[in-house]
Structure 1
Amino acid sequence: METKANEILFVSHNASRSGAPLILLGIIREFKNLYKGKLKVLLMEGGELQEDFQSLADTYILYKQPRFILQSKKGFAAKFLKLLYNIKARIILARLKKCRLVFLNTITNGHIHRKLISPGRKFMTYVHELESSTKFGTDAIALTTVLKHSNYFWTGSEVVRDFLVEGKQVPPGITEVVYSSLADINPNRHYFSEFIDSLKKQFQIPTDAFIVGVVANAEWRKGFDFLFPLVKIYLEKYPDGKAIFLWKGYNTGSKSYYFDTFDLKKTGIDKRIILLPHDASNLATIAALDAHLLLSREDPFPLVVLEAASLEIPTICFRDAGGSPEFVSGDAGICVDYGNLIQVAEAIYELENNAAKRIEMGAKAKSRLSQGYSSKDAALRLLTLVEKM
């Protein structure tokens, strides 16, 4: 059945090099090859990926700066910017009026969703959030708009679907679990050999070290405050342990860097922890790991778990902290009790000293990716949905 050539609008809350925008970018890239109609993109904020979006479709950027910077303005400057962006929004929305289907990526776009509502236009929302991200990423009016005016919902995991159905009373019949997806599920780990060698040389990582890594923003939701206590527990419990702990996604230009490195030196664990800034080398950094560590308190279904799996690296994560256990499932990594850092240390030491088990889990994670975790799989499911809507 040939799809109608209606224009479709994809809305992203920003164009940062992070999970939700990367997932959307991969889906659009594949969907463009399947769909005969015109595609457009609206970015609420710009970012590192905006040129990638622009290469795929007509792309409009509402806020050139992050909104928190604009919201910090006071007095006349605040009034002027509000007027300016209201005018800009009207111009952009006028150019999007032919789009009959709107794909909203994340639950946090209710403020623009409200302005896009028009007769005959349908909306689907891809939800990547749970409780805390929803609480702090949107407001009651915007959230109500999304919940009331979305015709269909994709959810990034079963736990996100439960959050919508049980927590927000969304009818289960208009929800569908579509897991996070990767554009490339078969990267070549050897491609990153030079980067890995350089990383080990730069930080003088011993050749027999066991590298455990987190790739995430250094924030409360991602569990950054668990890292230092975890390392202390690991070293006290396993004096012979050879683990080096790496956190990729730390703002080394912040005041916190001084405070955190101060604590690292005082507690004597500075030789075991490496803090790296967020940049385009995330996948290369993951390739350097022996085990991927997820310390998140709440993570709907982080893309980094799939990126690690694509490189045959198992994940250690908490139960009851999001959707990752749905992928790890006991044989593609290790799930431990929520917040139990002793169990995390034990899991690290187990994988460190049981190479056969680690390799087997990594291989299982890799093979699982072919079961619906590619951008092409998601694009095909979107095409089916578009035909029905």
Structure 2
Amino acid sequence: MPKKILFISHEASLSGAPILVLNLLKRLKQEKETYTIDVLLIRGGELYEDFAQISNNIIVAHYHLQSFSFVKRNLKRIQSIIFRKKENHQDKIDKITSSLILNKYNLVYGNTMESLEWTIPFYKKNIPTIVAIHELSFGIESTYPKEFVLENISNITKIIAGSKAVGDNLVTKYGADPKKINVVHSFVDSVLTIQKDKESLRKELGIKNDDLIVGIASSQELRKGTDMIPLLVKKIKQKTDINFKFINLGGTSKNPAVRCAKIDAEKLGIDDTLIFVDHNKFPNDYINLFDIFLLMSREDPFPLVMLTAAKLKKPIVAFEKSGGAVEFLGDNHGILIPYLDLDTMASEIIKLLNDSKLRESYGKNIHKRLEEEYSDTKLTAEIFHIINSLI
């Protein structure tokens, strides 16, 4: 008899955590053992159709619409529950989860810390729960008050931590039980899809053939450090006359952080060097174009774009004390910069810009580590083992 699993994702956006769990679902469907998979999306997004196609049933909870939809795989049958205005956030969670509990799931798998409050009702009904936590302190406490996490981190059967840094942080800061934690890093597919070749993309962006390209790919927010990019570009230009462009991939022109960065770039006189590219469905194309990949994050558990850069053999530069990048890039597999030291970062980038063999060496080293220690087959097998041990 098929095992019934409910997967909960905080959203269906084109970002690391939803992409990761979607890839996991696709692989789970290919397993010899049969699973019935339902999906609860706390919010929708661009990947909604992808989740709908892979699931037996899909549920979407829209806070701002104060309703949710239960959609069959053929997307034809829709049932709606309309919440009364006096019902609060917890009432909505209780109403949705109480109806889903009737489905008698063998397991509930929550993706990201935001799913915790949605998994607790199942845990209290003695249904095994897994919460895959990708966040460090800033991300966790942007979602819940610290007191809520301290009180409820024990209400999980098993925790999958996205990096050793995440697992250690859960234990030391929030009192999680180390025996409940398994560290399983993020992974990328064995084969990455590239839509546009480098030459075509250079022409599209107006980048000369002899310009080297430094770039980031991230959401535009304080935690990701994208506010520091204009100043970093200015420091690089002050230290070298080498021709380069800097691509900031992510966000949109409506994003306040992007608007602010554009103003800074203009005032610093580097707006002709800094290219802003909106968030889109083809980030691999742009990362493939980079000569150097940067992680500007103040805090990042184990970003998927870092793994994509490694897959594409790009040298990676990141800050120390920033999270999972440290364990991935350590032992000379990448360049780690003292925390928020933009002067040192600029100098290290210039060394890479001036030395193609050095760039190639770092790219090969990190690609080898990815293939040997962080293979998608190995990491998905670890997750499947955890799932099967509970059901």
Q: Is this a same-fold pair by TM over 0.5?
A: yes
TM bucket (normalised to shorter chain) is 0.7 to 0.9
Is the 2:221–2:257 contact (alpha carbons within 8 Å) kept by the matching residues of 1? no
* Distance of aligned partners of 1:164 and 1:61 in 2 relative to their CA distance in 1, 3 Å threshold: same
Match of 2:18 among 21, 25, 32: 21
Kindly indicate whether residue 46 of structure 2 is the aligned counterpart of residue 40 of structure 1: no
Kindly provide the amino acid, as one letter, of the partner of residue 343 in structure 1: T
Partner of 1:318: 319
Structure 1 residue 307 and structure 2 residue 308: aligned? yes
Q: CA deviation at 1:177?
A: 1.0
Note if 1:285 corresponds to 2:289.
no
Deviation at 1:312, TM superposition (A): 0.9
Residue by residue, what CA displacement relative to the aligned partner does 1:79-129 show, whole Å, maximum 9, x if unpaired?
628479957963564245311211111112232123333433111111100
User: What is residue 225 of structure 1 aligned with on the other side?
Assistant: 227
Task: Give yes or no for the alignment of 1:204 onto 2:206.
Answer: yes
Stretch of structure 1 that moved more, 322-331 or 271-280: 322-331
| Residue 90 of structure 1: aligned partner | 95
**Structure 2 match to 1:51:** 49
Question: Structure 1 residues 121 and 262 mapped into 2: Cα distance closer, same or farther (>3 Å)?
Answer: closer
Letter in 1 for 2:253: T
- Give me the whole-angstrom Cα distance separating, in 1, the residues matched to 2:95 and 2:375: 36
Structure 2 equivalent of residue 353 of structure 1: 354
Q: Distance in 2 between matches of 1:41 and 1:376?
A: 23
Using a 3 Å threshold, how does the CA distance of structure 1 residues 283 and 379 change in structure 2: closer, same or farther? same
Separation in structure 1 between the aligned mates of residue 381 and residue 178 of structure 2, nearest angstrom = 22
Q: Equivalent residue for 1:294? A: 295
Separation in 2, partners of 1:260, 1:37? 47
Residues 316 and 87 of structure 1: CA distance in aligned 2, closer, same or farther (over 3 Å): closer
Q: Structure 2 counterpart of 1:197, which letter? A: E
Q: Which moved more, 1:316-325 or 1:53-62?
A: 53-62
1:267 aligns to 2:268 (yes or no) = yes
Displacement after TM superposition at 1:333 (Å)? 1.9
Partner of 1:74: none
1:319 and 1:58, CA in 2 relative to 1: closer, same or farther beyond 3 A? Answer: same
Alpha-carbon deviation of 1:254?
4.2
Match 1:168 to one of 170, 174, 183: 174
What is the CA-CA distance between 1:374 and the residue it aligns to?
4.1
- Taking structure 1 as the reference length, the TM-score comes to 0.88
Unaligned runs of 5+ in 2: 67-81
Structure 1 residue 187: deviation in Å?
A: 2.7
Cα displacement string for residues 120-151 of structure 1 (whole angstroms, at most 9, x for unaligned residues)? 31111111000010111223565356412111
Contact 1:107 1:146 in 2 (8 A): no
What runs of 5+ residues in structure 1 fail to find an aligned partner? Answer: 72-76
Instruction: Check whether the contact 2:227–2:257 (CA below 8 A) recurs between aligned residues.
Output: no
Query: Could you tell me which of 212, 215, 222 is aligned with 1:213?
Result: 215
Q: Compared with structure 1, are the counterparts of its residues 318 and 60 closer, same or farther at alpha carbon in structure 2 (3 Å cutoff)?
A: same
Q: Is the 8 A contact 1:23 1:375 kept in 2?
A: no
How many angstroms does 1:267 deviate by? 2.0
- 3-state SS of paired residue (1:377): helix
| Amino acid paired to 1:206 | K
Q: Is the 8 A contact 1:372 1:378 kept in 2?
A: no
Which of 192, 196, 206 aligns to 2:196? It is 192
Larger RCO, structures 1/2 (Cα 8 Å, 6+ apart) = 1
Match of 1:143 in 2: 149
Q: Aligned to 1:60, which of 55, 58, 61?
A: 58
After TM superposition, the structure 1 stretch with the greater mean CA deviation from structure 2, 353-362 or 117-126, is: 117-126
Instruction: Give the residue type in structure 2 aligned to 1:90.
Output: K
Verify the 8 A CA contact 1:9 1:40 in the aligned structure 2: yes
Percent of residue pairs identical: 29
Root-mean-square deviation over aligned CA pairs: 2.6
- Cα gap change, 1:330 to 1:342, in 2 (>3 Å): farther
Q: Closer, same or farther in 2 for the Cα pair 1:228/1:107, shift >3 Å?
A: same
1:60–1:282 distance in 2 versus 1, CA, 3 Å = same
- For the residues of structure 2 that align with 1:157 and 1:257, how far apart are their CA atoms? 29
Query: What CA distance in whole angstroms lies between the structure 1 residues aligned with 2:48 and 2:94?
Result: 18
How many angstroms apart in 2 are the aligned matches of 1:152 and 1:161? 12
In the alignment, the residues of structure 2 paired with residue 164 and residue 154 of structure 1 have an alpha-carbon distance, to the nearest angstrom, of 11
Amino acid at match of 1:132: F
> SS of the residue aligned with 2:35?
coil
2:213 touches 2:290 (CA, 8 Å); kept in 1? yes
- Specify whether residues 254 and 173 from structure 1 end up closer, same or farther in structure 2 by C-alpha distance, changes over 3 A only: closer
Matches within 5 A, 1:249-264: 249-254=250-255, 257-264=258-265
Partner of residue 244, structure 1: 245
Residue type at the aligned position of 1:98: K
Per-residue deviation, 1:232: 1.2
Which residue of structure 1 lines up, in the alignment, with residue 106 of structure 2? 100
Matched, 1:133 2:154: no
Given that 1:108 and 1:142 are in contact with CA atoms closer than 8 Å, whether structure 2 keeps it comes out as: no
What is the aligned partner in structure 2 of residue 31 from structure 1? Answer: 28
Query: Within 1, Cα distance between the matches of 2:96 and 2:157?
Result: 26
CA distance in 2, matches of 1:11, 1:145: 21
Partner of 1:368: 369
SS at match of 1:109: helix
